[in-house]
Amino acid sequence: MYTGLILKESLENPDVLIDDRITITKEEKWNVDKSAEDWQPKIWTAVYIEGTDENLEDIAMIVSASILDKWYANLSDTTTEYVIFHKKLFSYTKGDDDTKQKARNYGKFIGVPEHQLDW
């Protein structure tokens, strides 16, 4: 089973979350007024999702096609982490700090605020 967190505001089209291979387990609003950048909304909608492992890579690719620049999403199963940027995926075995750092460096490079690269 995979799980993940996607911010609705990070998606070009939130209808990607309607995919029948995604189950929304929880949705909540976050007031991020103090940590949001000027170009980001002050209220974020956190959508917690899950699905079967066999769909993990497909869902990561769909999210990657829909996610906006300067945002990312996370999906994982018991062994693998996916960090998803616009048309760019990082997939690594949990505990692989080198690849995790490469994903963070890429996020900084494309303009994700450093304090938001906290996975």
Instruction: Report DSSP letters for 9-71, one per residue.
Output: GGBS-GGGGG-TT-EEEEEEEEE-TTT--TTS-SEEEEEEEEE-GGGHHHHHHHHHHHBPTT-
Percent of the chain with pLDDT over 70: 100
| pLDDT tens digit sequence for 66-87 | 999 999 999 999 999 999 999 9
Distance separating alpha carbons of residues 94 and 112, to the nearest angstrom:
22
Q: What is the pLDDT averaged over residues 4-23? A: 95
| pLDDT tens digit sequence for 100-112 | 999 999 999 999 9
Are residues 107 and 115 in contact, defined by beta-carbon separation less than 8 angstroms? Answer: no
What does pTM read for this prediction?
A: 0.92
Does 119 score more than 90 pLDDT? no
Q: What is the pLDDT averaged over residues 53-74? A: 95
